[in-house]
Structure 1
Amino acid sequence: MRYREFAVRLHIVYRSVGSENRKDRPDFYNKSLALASLLRAADNVDIETELVFVNDGPIPAGRLEMMSEAGEVLGVRCGSNRSSYRWVLRLPRQRGWSPADLVWFSEDDYLYTAASLRDLVRAANELDLADYFALYSSMRFDPAATRCSPLISSATRSQGDPDAVLLGTARWYHAVSATSTFGARLGAVLADERLLRTCPFLGEAWDHATCLAYQGYRPFGLRELAGGRPDPGHMGPPRAAARRVALVGVRTAADAVALARRQRARRTLVAPDPDLVTHMEQRFLAPGTDWAAVATAVAHWSRSRGQQTPWAPKAGAPKPDAPKPDA
């Protein structure tokens, strides 16, 4: 078992844009509420915490004020999720953050339970073999999985997993992948920076491919090497063909890099069951939690601190005078 020092600092890097998209959102969705939920979770962390907000383009004034009061605000002009993700991955090295610290990279459309980031720190301190951390995931590896054939189990999360570890109210299991909202030991991020910054060029589901690669599993089978849809917009046949050739090249390289990882360089990703955060898209809400109730608790918490969140609980919803710690 690898020995780890206890984490002494948590760096939270929150990526946000002012624009919206057409995803099917739940009734309680809005980005100010998402931000408030992260701030509430950060308030419950019991180690030193630094918040850095990276805004790609203009942000509404109310939300920007919430950020400014909580931490450092950086403005960037990246133009895409992929570009801003690659941009923030340079921060740990550029700022000289300690490899012993933790980092949490977040997108701006996730809802956090109150205990989520505190439980992240606890998992990092108690699960020595873990390098990366998801708070929202579902897949785990099948027992027959190999590095060349990373089979996914038909069971989800910690269901029937004898190796899952109970910490508080959640069972932590070895997960397959996470989104680009994830945590990590900074030593792993610093060592894996080149891989992490290259993987967004792998096409669709690049976050899934990233997690497979740093764990030492081949991300792409032979049939997937040239897969994926072309970039949005009107591309003539020559451009589409050139992109497909390039895609084959970067995916082949990703496979080679993953399989070339020595055992000591292979990372482990863990996730809790039930999920401690959720992506706020209707069909992807994490099961097992009343997220509308979490949103209500966040809204009341935010208003009690003089913050304005456009979403409000429906009339008649109970006011959580003393929300449960995991709400």
Structure 2
Amino acid sequence: MRLHIVYRSVGSENRKDRPGFYNKSLALASLLRAVDNVDIETELVFVNDGPIPAGRLEMMAGAGEVLGVRCGSNRASYRWALRLPRLRGWSPADLVWFSEDDYLYTATSLRGLIQAANELAVADYFTLYGSTRFAPAATRRSPLIDARARSQGDPEAVLLGTARWYRAASCTSTFGARIGALLADERLLRSCPFVGEAWDHATCLAYQGYRPFGLRELAGGRPDPGHMGGPRAAVRRGALVCVRSVANAVALARPQRARRTLVAPDPDLVTHMEQRFLAPGTDWAAAAAAVTQWSRSRDQEGLWVR
């Protein structure tokens, strides 16, 4: 088994509430440090949507293949990246990890991913950052989320190393997959971003065979009574009903053999670097400092400001 990493990045920033240690070069360095701790053959492909600062670009070029694209949005670059396993002819027996550029990785995160792939044969998809799981009463038409987070009170969670791996309900668009499952699901994965907000959550529900949208959600929820919208809003609402209805139908039509399983570790092995979404249980400021020290030892820290 080989590990393929597809790292999507943009040079611009947004106004999210970032922790004090946030830095996209730090995020990249943390991934490279995690790759250093992997003991299987690993390939890195960097998909850059638009210009990237020179120092960060130099770090990428020293670690793998750099591809420049002009997608213009997170959704578009995500859909573009999903084609790579098929276009490159990667083996169905391999593992792929898709990453956004604002995640902080622990040193052993990717090693944990590989261990889970080797030891949890039931798993098709993997996340290293998540919290939700299905409630015992969940059904395919009513995918209830458990009030308990992560592996708390889950008798089926499996201890691998220092993390308890549990079946997760959903994750972000930073995730891993067995390439065989990804190739079979490519059409579904590339279609789900059109369902609107929280399309990553809807994607995970759909490939696991759960209905992503209830009746009230089909049109994006209840309309604002103070602003019903004009003809364009009506057209958009109609299109949303259509694509979400199709996603529901595809999910519920999945035969048992095609329903996938997503697993996640507790505690999280990576975190999204947004203040209110930092994964609990880890001193991420200390983790960031350790990455900085690692980068300094590799003479890379000077590239961060370029």
Cα distance, 1:228 vs structure 2: 6.0
TM-score normalised per structure 1: 0.90
Cα distance, 1:310 vs structure 2: 7.9
User: 2:185 corresponds to which letter in structure 1?
Assistant: D
Cα distance, 1:239 vs structure 2: 1.6
User: 2:159 corresponds to which letter in structure 1?
Assistant: L
* Structure 1 residues 120-143: Cα deviation after superposition (integer angstroms, max 9, x where no partner): 000000001000001000001000
2:171 is paired with a residue whose SS is coil
Cα distance in structure 2, aligned partners of 1:84 and 1:229: 30
Q: Which range is displaced more, 147-156 or 302-311?
A: 302-311
User: 1:190 corresponds to which letter in structure 2?
Assistant: L
Cα distance, 1:309 vs structure 2: 6.0
Retained in 2: the 8 A contact 1:28–1:311? no
Q: Is 2:61 the partner of 1:68? A: yes
* Structure 1 residues 188-215: Cα deviation after superposition (integer angstroms, max 9, x where no partner): 1100000000000000000000000000
1:199-218 aligned at under 5 Å gives the runs: 199-218=192-211
2:62 is paired with a residue whose SS is helix
What's the counterpart of residue 226 of structure 2? Answer: none
Q: Select 1:269's aligned residue among 262, 273, 280.
A: 262
Q: Select 2:19's aligned residue among 21, 26, 29.
A: 26
What's the counterpart of residue 129 of structure 2? Answer: 136
| Unpaired segments ≥5 residues, structure 1 | 1-7, 231-235, 313-327
Q: Select 1:148's aligned residue among 141, 149, 157.
A: 141
TM-align CA RMSD: 1.6
Cα distance in structure 1, aligned partners of 2:234 and 2:189: 26
What's the counterpart of residue 234 of structure 2? Answer: 241
What's the counterpart of residue 169 of structure 2? Answer: 176
What's the counterpart of residue 3 of structure 1? Answer: none
Cα distance, 1:54 vs structure 2: 0.2
What's the counterpart of residue 315 of structure 1? Answer: none
Cα distance, 1:229 vs structure 2: 10
Cα distance in structure 1, aligned partners of 2:247 and 2:230: 26
Cα distance in structure 2, aligned partners of 1:130 and 1:214: 12
TM-score normalised per structure 2: 0.96
What's the counterpart of residue 189 of structure 2? Answer: 196
Q: Select 2:99's aligned residue among 103, 106, 113.
A: 106
What's the counterpart of residue 13 of structure 1? Answer: 6
User: 2:208 corresponds to which letter in structure 1?
Assistant: Q
* Structure 1 residues 148-182: Cα deviation after superposition (integer angstroms, max 9, x where no partner): 00001011000000000000000000000000000
Cα distance, 1:35 vs structure 2: 0.2
User: 2:63 corresponds to which letter in structure 1?
Assistant: A
User: 2:64 corresponds to which letter in structure 1?
Assistant: G
